[in-house]
Structure 1
Amino acid sequence: MKRSSGARLGATAAVSALTLALITGCSDSGSDAKDAKGSPDSGSSSSAPAAKALTPAELEKLLLAQGEVKGYRVTSGDDTLPKSKKAVKTDKADCDPLAWATAGLAPGQTDASASNSVAEDKASTATAQPDSVEDAFDVNMTFVGLSSYDGDGAEQAMKAVSGGVTACSGGYGLAAGEEKSKVTKVAPAKASGLGDESVAFSEDVDMDGEGTATFHTEVVRKGNTVATFYTVNFAALGTGKAAEIPAAVVKAQVAKLK
C-alpha cells in the first residue's frame, strides 16, 4: 500500500543524515586544516615557483553567481553547509576526503575554501507551479565547494579522494552533528573529464530501514584549485533513483577557475 507523498517525503528526508545533517545546523567556525605533507610531483620542475593558494575571499568571487547558468538559481552556502571538518566525522580516516567533498568542504588540507548551492529553477520553466508537495521537492540541488592549496596540495587532495574511493569501497560510518548514517558502498563513477583532472564516485547510503539511496559526487582540479559537486533530489530519496550532477553546472563552474 502506498504511503501519502507527504509521509514519504517526511520519512525519507528525516533519515538521510548524509544530506540533511551535512547541510543543516552543524557549522563550526573553527579552523581545522593541517599542513599538507605530500611529496612533490615527480614531473614538476624544481625551478618553477610554488603555487600559492587563493584566499577564501578570492574563492568566493570564483563561485557561480546568479544568472551565470541558465535554468538554475544560486544560493550562498553560508547557512546551508558545514563550515568546519570538525562537524563531519567518519570511522575511517581514508574516507574523510569523501565525506568532506560531499559536504562542500575542502577534500585536502587547506584553510582556503568557499561554497554555495545551485538548484534547478523550475519557476523559469513551463512547470513553474508544482502539482503537489512532493513535486515541489522534486528539484536537483547541487552543493558546490571550492578550495585552493599551496604547492602540490591540490594534487595531493585529488590523490586522497581517489585513494578514498578504493579504500572505502566497503562503506564507512558517518556522523554529522547529532546525526549518524552508514555508507554501505562506494564505487567509482564516470567523471566529466574537465579541468586538469577529475574524479567521480557514487555512495550507497542506508536509509535506516527505508531502503538504500545512491548519491553522486565529483571532484575537479584546475591548477591549484579544487571544485567539488554533490547533487541531491529530496523527492527521489525513497525511490532508489540517484540524482545526476548537472553537466552545465560543472562546466560553468570549472570555466570560472583560474
Structure 2
Amino acid sequence: MNRTSGARLCATAAIAALSLSLLTACSEEGSKDSADSKTSASASASAPAAASDAKALTTAELQKLLLAQGDLKGYKVEADESDKTTKSAVKVDKAACAPLAWATNGLPPGDTEANATNSLAEDKGTAATAQPEDLEDAFNLTMTFVGLSSYEADGAEKTIKALSDGVTGCAGGYGFTTEGETSKVTKVAAEKGSGKGDEAVAFAQDIVVEGQTITAHTEVIRKGSTLATLFTMNITALTKGGDMGAIPVAVADAQIAKLK
C-alpha cells in the first residue's frame, strides 16, 4: 500500500480511537523509515491539595464539560464513538508505569469509572476531497485527545502523585500490551506543562514502532477533583516516525476553563 493510502487509513483510525496501541496498528500501513526523536524535558508543577471531601462528577457530567464544536476556533471536535479499552486489557510489565499507560490509552489514570473522552483536530479542510498534491499538508496535522476523569476525596491528588512517581520510576522505559498489540516505551521524561489547573504532570514517551521511534506528549492537569488528560498524535509523524507535536496551549487553556 502506498504512503498516501496508508496515511488516510491511519488518520481515520486515529480519529476513531484513543490508544497508543493505535501507533502499532497504523505503522504497519505507513513508512518503514526510522527516525530518532528528541525531547526536551523539565519538571512539572506541584500545587496545593484539594478538599478531602471532594465528590466525583458522573460520566454524564464530564461529557458536558468536554470541549464541544464551536468552543475553540480553528479546531474540529470529534466525539469518541469507539469501543472502550478496559484497564484489564492493558498489561504493563512495571506496576509503577500503569498510570502512564492508562493515561495514553484513553483510560482514567487513577481509580475511578467516571470518564469521558473526545478529540480535537486542526481545521485544515476535508482531507478526503483534497487533491493529491494537497494530501501531505492535509495529513500534517496534530490531533489532541482529551479525557476527563473525576475522583472521590483525595483520589485526584493521589493520581497526580502516582503519575509523577511513574515518570521518575519509568524513565528507562517499560512495555505494555493492549488487546494483543505490544508496544515498547524506551524512555519517559518530564516536561514543562501548561501551568494550568491546580497541579499537573507533563511527560514525553519515546515509543518504538516497527523499528522507528515516535515521541508522544501527554499532560494530566488537575482541577479540583477532576483530571484532564491530553495527548497528541500527528499523522505525518505516525507514518514516518518522529515527534508527534506538543499539546496546543489553546486546547489546554480552553478545556481547563470549562472545568469547575
Shared fold per TM-score greater than 0.5: yes
Moved more, 82-91 or 187-196: 82-91
Question: Residues 102-181 of structure 1: matches in 2 within 5 Å?
Answer: 102-123=104-125, 131-181=133-183
SS of match in other structure, 2:242: coil
Q: 2:102 aligns with which of 91, 100, 103?
A: 100
SS of match in other structure, 2:20: helix
Counterpart CA distance in 2 for 1:183 and 1:111 is: 26
Q: 2:67 aligns with which of 64, 70, 82?
A: 64
Residue in 1 that maps onto 2:248:
246
Instruction: Give the letter for the 1:219 counterpart.
Output: V
Task: Give the number of the structure with larger relative contact order, counting CA–CA contacts within 8 Å between residues 6 or more apart.
Answer: 2
Question: Residues 205-216 of structure 1: matches in 2 within 5 Å?
Answer: 205-209=207-211, 211-216=212-217
Instruction: Give the letter for the 1:102 counterpart.
Output: T
Q: 1:204 aligns with which of 167, 190, 206?
A: 206
CA contact (8 A) 1:23 1:103 kept: no
Counterpart CA distance in 1 for 2:172 and 2:93 is: 12
Cα distance change, pair 65–10 in 1 and its aligned pair in 2 (3 A): closer
Residue in 2 that maps onto 1:221:
222
CA contact (8 A) 1:198 1:220 kept: yes
Q: Report the TM-score, using the length of structure 2 for normalisation.
A: 0.79
Q: Report the TM-score, using the length of structure 1 for normalisation.
A: 0.79
Instruction: Give the letter for the 2:148 counterpart.
Output: L
CA contact (8 A) 1:192 1:247 kept: yes
CA contact (8 A) 2:52 2:154 kept: no
CA contact (8 A) 1:231 1:243 kept: yes
- The alignment status of 1:256 with 2:258, answered yes or no, reads yes
Counterpart CA distance in 2 for 1:21 and 1:204 is: 12
SS of match in other structure, 2:202: strand
The Cα shift of 1:135 comes to 3.2
Instruction: Give the letter for the 2:102 counterpart.
Output: W
Counterpart CA distance in 1 for 2:245 and 2:79 is: 21
Residue in 2 that maps onto 1:6:
4
Cα distance change, pair 157–214 in 1 and its aligned pair in 2 (3 A): same
Instruction: Give the letter for the 1:68 counterpart.
Output: D
The Cα shift of 1:212 comes to 0.7
Counterpart CA distance in 2 for 1:10 and 1:121 is: 16
The Cα shift of 1:240 comes to 1.6
Structure 1: 5+ residue stretches without partners: 25-42
The share of aligned pairs that are identical, in percent, is 56
- The alignment status of 1:74 with 2:77, answered yes or no, reads yes
Deviations 1:186-211 (A, max 9, x none): 000110110000110000011222x2
CA contact (8 A) 1:117 1:142 kept: yes
- The alignment status of 1:191 with 2:189, answered yes or no, reads no
Residue in 1 that maps onto 2:35:
none
CA contact (8 A) 1:195 1:222 kept: yes
Instruction: Give the letter for the 1:6 counterpart.
Output: T
Cα distance change, pair 18–116 in 1 and its aligned pair in 2 (3 A): same
The Cα shift of 1:105 comes to 1.3
CA contact (8 A) 2:171 2:189 kept: yes
The Cα shift of 1:87 comes to 2.6
CA contact (8 A) 1:107 1:157 kept: yes
CA RMSD of aligned residues (A): 2.9
Counterpart CA distance in 1 for 2:23 and 2:5 is: 20
